[in-house]
Amino acid sequence: MINLYSAHIASLSIHRVGNKSKSEPILLSKEIYKTDDEITPLLKEFFLKPFRDKEENYFQFGNDVDVSFNELFNIASEIFENPESIHENSKKITQHLYDQSTHPHIKSGEVYVAFFEGLQIDNEKVNGIGIFKSEIKQDFLQFSEKENQLEAFLQQGVSLNKLDKGCLIFEVKKEEGYKILSVDSNRYDARYWLESFLGVNAFEDDNFKTKKYLKFCQDFAKDVVLPAEDRKEEVLFMNRAVNHFAKNDNFQESAFINEVIDNPDLIPEFNNYKIEKAPKYSIEDLTTFPIANTAVSAARKKIKNTINLDTNIQIKLDFINPENADKFVEKGWDEEKQMYYYLVYFNKEQKT
């Protein structure tokens, strides 16, 4: 879990990068940016708001040989060891970003490198480095008054409502490549930001493992449970799966299978599906791990509990009392109409 409200910007450097392949220039500011009480809170909100609204999917610096060969890892380490070096190192960061800006779709923009104090992650206050880029310019009207007459003229600038790209590097887990969060509003060049510039991989913590295993279960429900059973059983399987994760602190695969898979015939199907699909989810050897509650909550929000019928009728199943779906909803086949049906038992209709 992260808490960014108590963080403050200790220093900020602002530069500009163009598209290197188009021979657009790079501008490296000579001095650190002098913030003031008016603009600093606005910039802090501009930088950090996207991370408060975003699911916590962490990354870590990586390299095919060793993380010590990752350029940004070394720059970040130098900054954490000597925060006074951040402005000179911000120039190195901006130069590195410029060197990766070779795709014709990459836009020019301002680069902000901030040193944060008071970031909170996993109940620990730490320092952090923020690297942000604004690319999209918006038109706005500016006004001036001359002799009781308002004059309007058009200007372009950066909207503080939406950050284009950004990352937060937390001063934790250095030996694993630091914990990093990233946002990117412009998907057309995502590889350039994450892969070419940052050079990061997914941070395989408890949140990652919980999320990946639940995604694996969701696809198993869609690919195996649905064809073998029906939509109701698919929904109920995922509900049981999420409930199992929610009420346990640690995941044990054998206990999960015994509790969640009602149909014994599906157990070998589950094992075979895992053998076949595990590399896709990075869960090949994953049979036990601590459960991350944030990942469970996020997964629950994504599960669809509605059965949509081709007769434009919907049946919504209650996840709070899922056993009612087993007791009071039956599926059958009507020979005369040559159609499936759902039979729903109830005592009275509820007022809405």
Which of 169, 203, 237 is at the close of a domain?
203
Domain interval for residue 17: 2-203
The β-bridge partners of 154 are 141
State the pairing for strand pair 306-308/288-290: unpaired
Final residue in a domain of this structure, among 161, 186, 203: 203
Q: Would you say residue 350 has pLDDT above 80?
A: no
Tokens encoding 109: 């923009």
Residue 11 lies in a domain: yes
CB 210 within 8 A of CB 295: yes
Tell whether 224 is covered by a domain: yes
User: Looking at the domain assignment, is residue 350 inside a domain?
Assistant: no
Say what the pLDDT of residue 322 is: 61
**pLDDT number for residue 56:** 76
Asked which of 12-26, 251-265, 310-324 is least confident by mean pLDDT, the reply is 310-324
**Are 180 and 282 members of one domain?**
no
Q: At what angle do helices 253-260 and 231-247 cross, to 10 degrees?
A: 140
pLDDT at 303 over 80: no
Residue keyed to tokens 């997964």: 299
Q: Say yes or no: 77 and 183 in one domain.
A: yes
Residues 14 and 147 reside in one and the same domain: yes
pLDDT confidence of residue 327: 78
pLDDT of residue 59: 94
3-class secondary structure, 127: strand
Q: Measured in Å, how far apart are the chain's first and last C-alpha atoms?
A: 36
Cβ contact 142:87 at 8 Å: no
Query: What is the rounded distance in angstroms from the CA atom of residue 32 to the CA atom of residue 28?
Result: 10
Please give the share of the chain, as a percent, with pLDDT higher than 70. Answer: 96
Residues 87 and 24 placed together within one structural domain of the fold:
yes
pLDDT digits (tens, 9 = 90+) for 321-345: 666 767 788 888 889 889 888 888 8
Contact call for residues 241 and 257 (beta carbons, < 8 A) = no
> How do residues 224-277 score in pLDDT, each as one tens digit?
999 988 888 888 899 899 999 999 999 999 999 999 998 899 999 999 999 998
Phi first, then psi: give them for residue 151, nearest 5 degrees. -115, 135
The answer as to whether 349 is a domain residue is no
Q: pTM score, two decimals?
A: 0.79
Q: List pLDDT tens digits, range 26-45.
A: 999 999 999 888 899 999 99
pLDDT at 118 over 80: yes
* Beta strands at 8-17 and 26-27: parallel, antiparallel or unpaired: antiparallel
Note whether 171 and 234 are same-domain residues: no
* pLDDT: which is higher, 15 or 207: 15
Tens digits of per-residue pLDDT, 177-217?
999 999 998 766 668 899 999 999 999 889 899 999 999 99
Sign of CA dihedral 109, 114, 119, 122: positive
Q: Distance between CA 131 and CA 81 in Å, rounded?
A: 18
* Cβ neighbour number for residue 190 with a 10 Å cutoff: 12
Q: Single out the residue in 185, 203, 221 at which a domain terminates.
A: 203
Give the pLDDT confidence score for residue 323 in this predicted structure.
67
Assess whether pLDDT exceeds 80 at residue 352: no
- Spell out the residues 6+ positions from residue 119 whose beta carbon is closer than 8 angstroms to its own: 2, 4, 7, 125, 126, 127, 128, 168, 170
Report which DSSP code applies to 175. Answer: G
DSSP-H helix ranges across the chain: 39-52, 71-81, 86-100, 190-191, 206-220, 226-228, 231-247, 253-260, 266-281, 293-302, 323-328
Q: Considering only the C-alpha atoms of the chain, give the largest distance between any 2 of them, rounded to a whole number of Å.
A: 86
Q: Between 1 and 200, whose confidence is greater? A: 200
Q: 328: closest CA among 307, 347, 315, 345?
A: 345
Residue 48's alpha-carbon distances to 52, 87, 137, 162, in angstroms, are 7, 20, 20, 11
In terms of domains, do 223 and 334 share one?
Answer: yes
Identify whether residues 109 and 144 lie together within a single domain. yes
C-alpha closest to that of 43 among 169, 130, 121, 125: 130
pLDDT at 190: 64
Query: What is the number of domains present in the chain?
Result: 2
| H/E element, 131 | strand 124-134
pLDDT digits (tens, 9 = 90+) for 147-173: 888 989 898 888 898 899 999 999 999
Cα–Cα distance for residue pair 114/45, rounded to 1 Å: 13
State percent of the chain over pLDDT 90: 56
Residue carrying structure tokens 């060891």: 81
